[in-house]
Structure 1
Amino acid sequence: MHTLSEKARAAIADILPPEEILEPSSELYTKESTTWAAQKQQHPALVVRPGSAERLQKLVPYLYESGLDFAIRCGGIGSSSAKDVVVSMKQFDSFKYNPDDHTIVVGAGQLWGDIEQKLEEVAPARIAVSARVPWVGVAGSTLSGCLSWVGTEFGLGADPQNMLDVEIVLRDGRKIWASTEPDLLWALRGGGGNFGVVTAFHFRTYPYSTSIHCGYISYPPSALEAVSRGIAEHAARPIDPRVSFHCLIGAADEKFPGQSSWTESTDRKDRAVQFAKFHLGVFVFDAYGEEHGRSDKGFKWAFDIPGAVDKTVVTTIRGANELQSANKNLVGATNSYLNACLADEIDPEFVIRGKNWVEGISSLDSRLGPGTLFLLEVMPGKTFNATSSPEETAWPHSSNKHVLQLLTGSHPDSNCPEELALHALAMAPYIIKKTHSKEEFFPNFLESINDRSAIFGVNYGKILEVKKKYDPQQRFNKGSFIPIPSDRKDSVQSSI
């Protein structure tokens, strides 16, 4: 673990009171510094949790000019860490609902589960375009686009119709609403948060069903072909923005029970299940309710597959997302490398190829496997086409309909080479998809193997201009980070 100089400690102590400075011995230190990917945890010398915007406005300029390695953290799923100082935004937990225009202004340090609970208390039949997991941070997920169950109807969480404004502290300590500097707000729509420190969001809310039929259906290995065929047939249906689903295949490992409780609800007495090298499940979401969900127009095909174990319920959007609560124990459990590919054509062999990739990972190296997953998110509708043009937001959106989240994993103590895990991740889209190109990625989880210039396409040059204006020293450089290439640092001229 790194140590800070007395000079640095004294400077931070001049800005923050003792209760807002967490030493490694503190009970809150681990909770507010853990990262999703174990290998990215840098065990900072200090975790600081400023309790007011005024103190944050003093802290940010100090850290920016200090030379200390620092990171900004909300929920930890973006694996933002640093060796010197991690700034936890946990105390930015405000919430205000405006009944006149049905919008909310929320502190950026909260998890989506916090926001959904507070919104349900004041406006039970309204929802925000939230991430699908309650323990995901509002800031990191939104600034990287924000995929949502309701995105098929309303678009991405960061789209202009959903994320109305962002309050941010800039490197010099100024606190502004980004709408006063439109290019900055544009960059925050899918370009990540590394332009300053975000303190609050202004979101629109929508009326939505409170009787959603959703949840887990798990399967034995023998159901793989039927599941793969059923998914392809469903994906080819006419678009219905209130009906979507995920398919997850996780690598089985005795030291790591599995990716998800919903792939492990099969009969554990079944020897085929006990000795399978993978877990298989589908999570269904039907906002029309249970009758529709179990019908031919919904997911009858999924319930009718032999061996299906039905764990579905009828609940609200908050309840649907809470079904993922048990998986919070996966945070920091493995070394993990993650990409969210985009996909369009889902053929009858798609899921089978995904299973073969998951199952074949360990053949590359026995240390690979634990935590490895294939997660196909069938998301027709407006998820990627709710904006008027590619230039409307930093990430230019896509004509693809679906997301294929891929993760290569290993035990933290396995000494599995990072290069090997990244190679396996890089090859996965070409193994699973019929065709793939380097721009076909969602910007929420980007690794060193990803070509950011291709992913941000026509908007890449403008993003670099905004980055150079608001972070010329590239000090905001963790999580969803878009670096200025060394050969462009001098050539990028700010025109904004």
Structure 2
Amino acid sequence: MSAQVLTLEGERQTLSDETVEEIRAIFRGAVLTADDVGYDEARIIQNAMLDRRPGLIVRCTGTADVVDAVKMATERNLLVAVRGGGHSIAGSCTADDALMIDLSVMRGVWVDPERRRVRVAGGATWGDVDRETQLHGLAVPGGVVSTTGVAGLTLGGGIGWLHRKYGLACDALRAADVVTVRGDIVRCSASEHEDLFWALRGGGGNFGVVVSFEFEAYPLGPVVWNGMVVYPIDAAAEVLPRWRDWTSTVPDEVTSRAMFWTLPAVPPFPPSVHNRDVFMMAALYAGDPDEGRRACRELGEFGRPLADMSQALSYRTAQSALDPLFPKGELQSYWKSVYLDRLDEETTGFVVRVGQDRPSPKTLVHAPLMGGAMSRVGATETAFGDRGARYILSLDGNWLDPADNDVNIRWVRDAYHEAVTLRAASGTYLNFGGDADLDDDDRVRAWGRNVERLRQVKRSYDPENRLRLNPNIPPAEN
């Protein structure tokens, strides 16, 4: 019943049985210690490699619980981890012996179809948002896996299947309700607490606990064209340059990515490609599916495909198609990414080589196409930073056996360090990252010239750096 929790200075603080009971009396949501039923389920996050044991978990049911949890952390000087959807590959949402402020049961979504506004609670997933918005023929730019948390993706930027047509998730953000480290509730938007609103759009969870997001939604669906064509992995050197040339001609409605993978023996993949190493291309057309069929026709003409699974699908089905391949708490994961300004001969050769050299069949090497609407937002308009890169190369190391951790992590790190030396390399996307600990060079790669402004905002809202379990931005010095 008692709990051991860490202070910011790393000292252990014991919460007695009586103290834990007093804490429980404050909250409407469950307060869990390591001895309680439900604790092990509550601490599971996406990345199985990070088997961490928080000292105390507060499962907040609403804003009042979050306010009291934050105040308790400040009063007791506790190390805090904030969990939304629990999808952080770097594990920013959990830590051994920390106080975990868990928003994962706060999953409400409210749609105003006339104003095309969507209010989303801080623990919601993109699947929650898609279900409610598609009822009205609307969508908010999200990610590519529907179990991803809205909070983490948005605060880190938000690349997905709609960023070329409608921008990043953070670009669709119109307002947010934030609980500061002092326990104040702050509403921020383009006209109120503008500095905080700017920082939330790409600056991560450094500035407060976001309990509610308000997004603009856009017309889409219910049916979209979903392109998916599978080629032999040996054909990648021939097919990738053709995909690159095709991506220079497509309209903003097309968002596409090229991927190296070993396809599992599960639907929607046909038996002919089960357990095969492949090079595949996927695309979503954010518009009329018949126009999408025509726009994506060439995907199947770059060589001799093993399978062409392109078809018109409901947007919700397209958004959740990859969910079974990323089961929460089962895969050991370590990811790194780098922006690429172009896919020239040097870069293409490197991408093909690492894609064919993956150490685990679960590892995914993929190159999402950028540009379009997201690239028309200036580098300093949001905290996200420069959007000029044409592609991202993401090295998503995934495997099953913890005994293989060292070899897989080493492979991702070696490939990443080689990638950043390419002449086309220009930055990094932290949502596709495996390390929460950043140095100054990492911050510049992620946020560019926005770093100093972010440090100033951090000093205003979290001067003691209490929210430090994240890709951290230290407060500016006085």
State the TM-score, normalizing by the size of structure 1: 0.82
> Is 1:210 matched with 2:227?
no
Unaligned stretches of 5+ residues in structure 1: 363-368
For 1:164, the equivalent position in structure 2 comes to 174
The aligned amino acid for 1:92 is M
The aligned amino acid for 2:397 is T
Alpha-carbon contact 1:216-1:262 (below 8 Å) kept: no
For 1:47, the equivalent position in structure 2 comes to 57
Question: 2:41 & 2:402 partners in 1: Cα distance?
Answer: 18
Question: 1:115 & 1:26 partners in 2: Cα distance?
Answer: 31
Alpha-carbon contact 1:213-1:293 (below 8 Å) kept: yes
Unaligned stretches of 5+ residues in structure 2: 6-13
The aligned amino acid for 2:154 is T
For 2:105, the equivalent position in structure 1 comes to 91
CA deviation profile, 1:95-135 (whole Å, cap 9, x unmatched): 222234221111111000001101223x1x21112222210
DSSP 3-state at the match of 2:387: coil
Q: 1:351 to 1:185 in 2, by over 3 A?
A: same
The aligned amino acid for 1:356 is R
Question: 1:338 & 1:171 partners in 2: Cα distance?
Answer: 30
Question: 1:355 & 1:249 partners in 2: Cα distance?
Answer: 8
For 1:451, the equivalent position in structure 2 comes to 442
The aligned amino acid for 1:46 is L
Q: Which moved more, 1:463-472 or 1:59-68?
A: 59-68
For 1:184, the equivalent position in structure 2 comes to 196
For 2:463, the equivalent position in structure 1 comes to 472
Alpha-carbon contact 1:336-1:371 (below 8 Å) kept: no
Question: 2:431 & 2:385 partners in 1: Cα distance?
Answer: 13
> Is 1:112 matched with 2:99?
no
Size of the aligned set, in residue pairs, is 455
> Is 1:36 matched with 2:46?
yes
The aligned amino acid for 1:127 is A
Alpha-carbon contact 1:294-1:300 (below 8 Å) kept: no
Give the C-alpha shift of residue 445 in structure 1: 3.7
Between the aligned residues of both structures, percent identity stands at 23
User: Counterparts of 1:65-104 in structure 2 under 5 Å?
Assistant: 65-78=75-88, 79=91, 80-84=93-97, 85-104=99-118
Give the C-alpha shift of residue 234 in structure 1: 0.9
Q: 1:198 to 1:100 in 2, by over 3 A?
A: same
Alpha-carbon contact 1:445-1:480 (below 8 Å) kept: no
Give the C-alpha shift of residue 25 in structure 1: 6.2
The aligned amino acid for 1:60 is V
CA deviation profile, 1:186-212 (whole Å, cap 9, x unmatched): 110100022111100111111124331
Alpha-carbon contact 1:355-1:374 (below 8 Å) kept: no
Give the C-alpha shift of residue 426 in structure 1: 3.0
> Is 1:323 matched with 2:321?
yes
The aligned amino acid for 2:383 is A
Give the C-alpha shift of residue 23 in structure 1: 4.2
Give the C-alpha shift of residue 348 in structure 1: 6.2
Q: 1:283 to 1:26 in 2, by over 3 A?
A: farther
Give the C-alpha shift of residue 168 in structure 1: 0.7
User: Counterparts of 1:59-458 in structure 2 under 5 Å?
Assistant: 59-78=69-88, 79=91, 80-84=93-97, 85-121=99-135, 123=136, 125-159=137-171, 162-179=172-189, 180-237=192-249, 239-250=250-261, 265=270, 267=272, 278-295=277-294, 297-302=295-300, 305-329=303-327, 331-347=328-344, 350=347, 353-360=350-357, 362=359, 369=360, 371-385=362-376, 387=377, 389-409=378-398, 411-414=401-404, 416=406, 420=410, 423-430=413-420, 433-437=422-426, 440-446=427-433, 447=435, 448=437, 451-458=442-449
Question: 1:88 & 1:397 partners in 2: Cα distance?
Answer: 32
Alpha-carbon contact 1:220-1:280 (below 8 Å) kept: yes
Alpha-carbon contact 1:233-1:348 (below 8 Å) kept: no
DSSP 3-state at the match of 2:169: coil
Alpha-carbon contact 2:83-2:101 (below 8 Å) kept: yes
The aligned amino acid for 1:103 is R
Question: 2:161 & 2:301 partners in 1: Cα distance?
Answer: 20
DSSP 3-state at the match of 1:341: strand
Alpha-carbon contact 1:146-1:157 (below 8 Å) kept: yes
Give the C-alpha shift of residue 24 in structure 1: 4.4
Q: 1:314 to 1:361 in 2, by over 3 A?
A: closer
Alpha-carbon contact 1:51-1:91 (below 8 Å) kept: yes
CA deviation profile, 1:401-425 (whole Å, cap 9, x unmatched): 2222223345323351797356325
Question: 1:326 & 1:289 partners in 2: Cα distance?
Answer: 27
Alpha-carbon contact 1:190-1:395 (below 8 Å) kept: yes
Alpha-carbon contact 1:147-1:383 (below 8 Å) kept: no
Question: 2:268 & 2:149 partners in 1: Cα distance?
Answer: 24
Question: 2:272 & 2:252 partners in 1: Cα distance?
Answer: 33
Question: 2:346 & 2:270 partners in 1: Cα distance?
Answer: 24
For 2:24, the equivalent position in structure 1 comes to 13
Alpha-carbon contact 1:215-1:311 (below 8 Å) kept: yes
Q: Which moved more, 1:75-84 or 1:134-143?
A: 75-84
Alpha-carbon contact 1:219-1:263 (below 8 Å) kept: no
Alpha-carbon contact 2:260-2:356 (below 8 Å) kept: no
CA deviation profile, 1:223-282 (whole Å, cap 9, x unmatched): 323421321221232x401112111113x5xxxx76x968964625xxxx86x6x44322
DSSP 3-state at the match of 2:333: strand
CA deviation profile, 1:331-379 (whole Å, cap 9, x unmatched): 33344322332223124675553242144454xxxxxx46432111123
The aligned amino acid for 1:456 is W
CA deviation profile, 1:435-470 (whole Å, cap 9, x unmatched): 324xx1124244346620343222111101111221
CA deviation profile, 1:11-59 (whole Å, cap 9, x unmatched): 5324225x61234466644443223333333122332211121222111
Q: 1:28 to 1:384 in 2, by over 3 A?
A: farther
4+ residue segments displaced more than 6 Å: none
Alpha-carbon contact 2:332-2:405 (below 8 Å) kept: no
The aligned amino acid for 2:372 is G
Question: 1:246 & 1:196 partners in 2: Cα distance?
Answer: 33
For 1:366, the equivalent position in structure 2 comes to none
The aligned amino acid for 2:105 is Q
Question: 1:243 & 1:185 partners in 2: Cα distance?
Answer: 29
DSSP 3-state at the match of 1:424: helix
Give the C-alpha shift of residue 479 in structure 1: 3.3
